Structure 1
Amino acid sequence: MLAAKQRVVAQNPLYRVGRLPASHCKEPAVRPTSVANVRKYYTEYIRCLDKVWKPVVEKAGFTFQSPRLDVFTGKTRTLCDVQDSAAYCGSGTISMNATFDIDNYRKYNKLWARTTMAHLVAHEYGHHIQRLIGISDASATRTSYLKGADASLLESRRIELQASCLSGVYLGADRSYFPVAGSWRQRWLWTISHRGDEWGTQRDHGSSKSHSRWTRRGFDAGTPSACNTFTASTASVA
């Protein structure tokens, strides 16, 4: 069984689909000044992600299904049963915290708030792709056989860094239309290089250095084959 699960994560057909096509979508023009606006931003963004990933997932031989979007506030209960900035749950739901986005836009750098939104929703969508192509299930099975917390955390980092890499793949393919250029690109690069688990309670998402490296790797390549974290060395997913 484990050998079969290893093939799913390490030799998945998604790695052979080639370069992702551009969605020709611009960054959603709506700004996160209200819950309704945040919902509209993510709805438009996911529609563009669907446009590109649907034919790619089907080309790899899998059935595509669009994720459900759950936009919540700090005062409401998310369908994924978390109160984080963003989350994906196995039922196919992407949960995004509107309070987090609105506060960031109001109190801090507005461009940072936008690049964070763009990265996070594409990252959670990356988890959705993992679910559709069997990687999520295979990784969960692999984890159940692992011994020790360190081994489980390593597996978690492979999953999380792959999701961020896939977010980079989408933006890289669509860079000319979004566009990912100028000050937006510079702030995005800053954003992805300042998201790491070294400031958290456990090493389950990857360091800021690893996160930046894998996200940029996906962006530069524009193809899912660049995101095979399951054959990468332990050091590269630290």
Structure 2
Amino acid sequence: MDWRGRRQSRNIEDRRGQPLQGSGGGVGLLLLLRLLPWLLRSWVGRIVLLLGGVAFVGARMLGIDLLQLSGPAPQQTATFSAEEQQLAKFVSVVLADTEQTWQGIFSEAGSRYEEPTLVLFSQRVASACGTASSAVGPFYCPADRKVYLDLSFFRDLDRQLGAPGDFAQAYVVAHEVGHHIQTLLGISQKVRATGQGKSAAVVNALSVRQELQADCLAGVWGHAAHNYSQLLEPGDLEEALQAAAAIGDDRLQRRSGGEVVPDSFTHGTSAQRVAWFRRGFESGDMGQCDTFSASL
């Protein structure tokens, strides 16, 4: 991909090397524990503890967390290798290009595109959808409309899943942005409503269609990146198709040594993922991405 020197997105939130949000108050609590022996021996200290306990209980009854009032724990400046910093810039450029593509598509339809934020994290992250570890892979949270990505996933994509290349990585970002498009269009909300009270098999089948549509929407971006932004270079499309195939449910289940169980699929087979990404890429038309009416 010819991405160097291009515009980077302003919608990057870099939390790499930072403690989980909402984990503040650690310094105040540590200081209290260190002073506790003196406080218990001193009559002044006992009064302080008594008044503090009353205040703490009262504040909790009012819904106030006093441990948060001491502020967050001091953060150490994280250092990253030149390779990882370059990768973060790459992700920012890809996100910026998806913004340009979807701004144009939404504008043509008479709507305004609301850009998502992409959160870079390491190991664990807190989102409006809950706390997650990097083991879950990249994900989109509709509750806060943010994409979450640990850059180490790209290493796993290359070394463990056999899908190297920068356009393979760009496909991952574009797929998660596809989920953002589904949220903006109300598709994700309809899927959740339809699946309420249904069996696991029905919910999984709905999930497959939703994921395949996100693949197709990623392909729509890829079409624009190739034809308008001139981002793609020879061999890039093959990288994305290889990545789509590598994370198909059937291939992942075989890799884990387990039995392939179609009813447990949540993202679609390798062949389906490749087909729907290619469909979006070749057409450049999000109208071709109606996986919910199609015969899979």
Q: Does 1:73 align with 2:122?
A: yes
- What letter is aligned with 2:4? A
Counterpart CA distance in 2 for 1:96 and 1:197 is 20
Q: Does 1:94 align with 2:131?
A: no
Number of residue equivalences = 205
RMSD of the TM alignment (CA)?
2.7
**Identical-pair percentage:** 27
Distance 1:28 1:180, change over 3 A: closer
SS at structure 2 position matched to 1:128: helix
Distance 1:27 1:151, change over 3 A: farther
For residues 1-238 of structure 1, what are the structure 2 equivalents within 5 Å? Answer: 27-29=2-4, 34-74=83-123, 76-79=124-127, 81-82=131-132, 83=134, 84-90=136-142, 91-102=144-155, 112-145=164-197, 147-176=198-227, 177-198=229-250, 199-200=252-253, 202-233=264-295, 236=296
Counterpart CA distance in 2 for 1:197 and 1:33 is 34
**1:186-206 CA-partner distances (Å, limit 9, x unpaired):** 333322222201224831000
Q: Could you tell me how far 1:216 is from its partner in structure 2?
A: 0.5
Is the contact made by 1:50 and 1:66 (CA closer than 8 Å) also made in structure 2?
yes
- What letter is aligned with 1:203? F
SS at structure 2 position matched to 1:88: strand
Counterpart CA distance in 2 for 1:231 and 1:88 is 24
Counterpart CA distance in 2 for 1:195 and 1:140 is 23
**1:115-159 CA-partner distances (Å, limit 9, x unpaired):** 3211100000000111111111111111115x2111111110111
TM-score (norm 2): 0.62
SS at structure 1 position matched to 2:164: helix
Counterpart CA distance in 1 for 2:157 and 2:266 is 24
Structure 2: unaligned runs, 5 residues or longer: 6-80, 254-260
SS at structure 2 position matched to 1:209: helix
Structure 1: unaligned runs, 5 residues or longer: 1-25
Is the contact made by 1:104 and 1:113 (CA closer than 8 Å) also made in structure 2?
no
Counterpart CA distance in 1 for 2:201 and 2:161 is 36
- What letter is aligned with 2:286? P
Counterpart CA distance in 2 for 1:227 and 1:98 is 28
SS at structure 2 position matched to 1:112: coil
